[in-house]
Amino acid sequence: MSRTKGAVSIRDVAAAAGVSVATVSRVLSPASAAVPMRKETRGKVERAIEELGYRPNDLARALLQNRTAAIGLVVPDISNPYYPPLVRGVEDVASSHGYRVVLCNTDRDPDKLTGYLDTLIKTRVDGIVVAGGGWTDAPDRTAVLGTYRTGLVAVGRHLTAHPSVRIDNVAASRSAAGHLIGLGHRRLTFLGGPESSTTVQDRAQGFRDALTASALDGLAPAVRFGSFTEESGYALARDVLGSSRPPTALLCANDRIALGAYAAAADTAHRIPGDVSVVGFDDTPIARYVRPTLTTVSIPTYEMGSAAVRLLLAQLAGEDAPAVETMPTRLVLRDSSAAPAAGRAHDVLSLTSSSSSEREVRCASRWRAAGRVACSWLR
């Protein structure tokens, strides 16, 4: 049997097998096993498909079935270690339900976001998951999501009515700042990402709330904004650590910013945590392997990706689903946070690390010279 020149069509398969186009279509149908057909006929069609190297036209099939079995996933920066576990969570649940995932990376560019959404809609994906928080400086960055009627779920706080999976960033940041205040720190600075990001706004708000509750909010300009990168963390930290009254604690909007702060501390002769404590956000793998290990807010990114797809599938099936699903966070205490030089050990610190649960951190003892902390989580 000779291969047809150019793209192989379903008619070529039918001619090679000596059957009708309708017969080939029935063999290709996902429900073909339940379609009555002579074994010999089915075998001829399957051999023709293999020998000709025929591949069905997914777009044509989608037009007929009004279903592509594909989900679009839009992320702002795949190089950020926060996102791969989320992507994996999306892919694992999607594939277990027979869906493929089309990954799009926007580089936090609103034009790329709009372009990818248009492309995903035109290729008739069954639904879209948009990861990363929203923006407030340019309403079209997130308002554009509201113009689409395709099933859509957001991961993070977006300024749209679409269902979302998120964490309580305000509460999580408040608890992280409360941890530092409880250690005795009085000069704290928040190193943030872009000021227009809803994620950064919420984390900055939690930081301010903690300072206000402890009557520390009027001491100094305590909030700085930049980007979600190591370079920005380095520049911001170097600036504040080089001031006449540097902070004794830095709360960073993500672990990448914290990593930049580590480098800035080294270059300005500040020991961590001896001279400055550093706390991150996300609990990415780097937090466990830098030295000193990084105290950080752990976010269940894999579970958030999984939950987003389950919410999307419920939406596509017309089932009732929550408008917002809030996932818990927890503060992971490691070696980068300790009492300031003039402070003293604190026996008990109570804090709330998510909107849905309260945990008490009980510090049995603290040896500053050895840089060790003995703590246990009481759930």
Same fold, 66-167+303-314+316-326 and 169-299+329-378: yes
The candidate with the shortest Cα–Cα distance to 38, out of 9, 13, 17, 52, is: 17
- Count of CB atoms situated within 10 Å of the CB of 150: 15
> How far apart, in whole angstroms, are the C-alpha atoms of residue 8 and residue 362?
69
The candidate with the shortest Cα–Cα distance to 304, out of 106, 126, 125, 88, is: 88
Q: Structurally, what CATH architecture does the domain formed by 169-299+329-378 represent?
A: 3-Layer(aba) Sandwich (3.40)
> Which CATH class for the 10-56 domain?
mainly alpha
Structural domain spans, the chain: 10-56, 66-167+303-314+316-326, 169-299+329-378
What is the pLDDT at residue 366?
A: 32
Q: Give me the residue label for tokens 């190591």.
A: 230
- Kindly report the three-state secondary structure assignment for every residue of 26-39: HHHCCCHHHCCCCH
> Which CATH class for the 66-167+303-314+316-326 domain?
alpha beta
The candidate with the shortest Cα–Cα distance to 189, out of 145, 247, 134, is: 247
Residue 307: strand, helix, or coil: helix
- In this structure, what DSSP letter does residue 206 have? H
Q: CB–CB of 305/88 below 8 Å?
A: yes
Expressed in angstroms, the distance from the first to the final Cα of the chain is 69
Q: CB–CB of 139/116 below 8 Å?
A: no
Cis (ω within 30 of 0) for the bond into 273?
yes
The candidate with the shortest Cα–Cα distance to 297, out of 339, 327, 273, is: 327
**How would DSSP label each residue in 246-280?**
--SEEEESSHHHHHHHHHHHHHTT--TTTT-EEEE
What is the pLDDT at residue 347?
A: 30
Q: CB–CB of 70/316 below 8 Å?
A: no
Strands in 330-332's sheet, in edge-to-edge order, are 223-224, 188-191, 249-252, 277-282, 295-298, 330-332
> How far apart, in whole angstroms, are the C-alpha atoms of residue 69 and residue 72?
10
Strands in 70-75's sheet, in edge-to-edge order, are 100-105, 70-75, 127-131, 151-155, 164-167, 324-327
The candidate with the shortest Cα–Cα distance to 369, out of 341, 348, 349, 346, is: 341
Q: CB–CB of 229/256 below 8 Å?
A: yes
- Count of CB atoms situated within 10 Å of the CB of 244: 4
> How far apart, in whole angstroms, are the C-alpha atoms of residue 108 and residue 112?
8
Question: Tens-digit pLDDT profile for the chain (379 aa)?
Answer: 444 456 788 888 889 989 988 888 788 765 555 567 888 888 888 898 888 888 776 655 555 556 688 999 999 999 999 999 999 999 999 999 989 999 999 988 878 888 898 888 888 899 999 998 766 555 555 555 566 666 889 998 877 778 999 999 999 999 999 999 999 999 999 999 999 889 999 999 999 999 999 887 666 558 999 999 999 999 999 999 999 999 999 999 999 999 999 999 999 999 999 999 999 999 999 999 999 999 999 999 999 999 999 999 999 888 888 889 999 999 999 999 999 986 433 332 333 333 333 333 333 233 232 333 323 222 2
Q: What is the pTM of this model?
A: 0.76
What is the pLDDT at residue 135?
A: 63
Helix, strand, coil tally for the chain in percent (to 5) = 40, 20, 40
Token output for 72: 């679009």
Measured CA to CA in angstroms, residue 166 lies from 17, 157, 262, 322, 351 at distances of 53, 6, 28, 12, 20
Q: CB–CB of 180/188 below 8 Å?
A: yes
- In this structure, what DSSP letter does residue 135 have? B
Q: CB–CB of 254/228 below 8 Å?
A: yes
What is the pLDDT at residue 349?
A: 32
